């Protein structure tokens, strides 16, 4: 098997393929919804500027987490 042409980490699905399973799914999403739309979604959701990062940090600092049954949960969820 060969290395995926996109992520360059996973093995390709077949000898003749260029994509691993995950990257092929991303490619198919791009073919259905358009690569520009896929890029815009990734940019809006995954990429944060400094102000957005700071807002997320501030929100997380306000939440009290406790461990319940081996998992971290919000304190209000225990009620």
pTM of the model: 0.56
Give the model confidence (pLDDT) of 21-35 as tens digits.
Answer: 999 999 999 999 999
| Residue 79: per-residue pLDDT | 45
Tokens of 28: 């198919």
Give the model confidence (pLDDT) of 2-18 as tens digits.
Answer: 899 989 999 988 888 89
To 5 degrees, how large is the angle CA 52–CA 53–CA 56? 85
CA distances from 70 to 53, 54, 66, 67, 73 (A): 28, 28, 10, 6, 10
């Amino acid at each position: 098997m060969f290395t995926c042409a996109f992520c360059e980490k996973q093995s390709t699905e077949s000898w003749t393929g260029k994509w691993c399973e995950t990257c092929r799914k991303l490619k198919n999403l791009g073919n259905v919804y358009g690569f520009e739309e896929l890029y815009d979604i990734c940019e809006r959701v995954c990429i944060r500027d400094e102000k957005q990062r700071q807002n997320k940090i501030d929100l997380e600092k306000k939440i009290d987490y406790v461990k319940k049954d081996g998992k971290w949960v919000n304190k209000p969820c225990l009620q």
